[in-house]
Amino acid sequence: GGANDCEVVISFQNQCGSVVGSSDHSGFGTAGTLRRARQIARQACEEMGPGCKVFWEGCSYPALAE
């Protein structure tokens, strides 16, 4: 199930990412901290219009080899 027209809009490794949007526009950002990634994404979204909210965010940290 699910949509068949999905596309990757953000990819990151060993950092954080955030996707912020409204019903008709969005922005995304990556950075070393979740707070900064969210700021970048929100700024990109708000440049296109109001109503921006966080859709998704998370961090990928390096795995330690044992």
Task: Note the pLDDT tens digit of each residue in 11-49.
Answer: 888 999 999 999 999 999 999 999 999 999 999 999 999
Per-residue model confidence (pLDDT) at position 46: 97
C-beta of residue 22 within 8 angstroms of C-beta of residue 53: yes
Q: Could you tell me the pTM of the whole model? A: 0.81
Q: How far is CA 21 from the centre of its chain?
A: 9
Q: What is the largest CA-CA distance in the chain?
A: 47
Per-residue model confidence (pLDDT) at position 16: 95
Per-residue model confidence (pLDDT) at position 51: 95
Helix (H) or strand (E) holding 20: strand 16-21
Per-residue model confidence (pLDDT) at position 1: 65
Q: Which residue has the higher pLDDT, 44 or 9?
A: 44
Rounded distance, CA 38 to CA 21, Å?
11
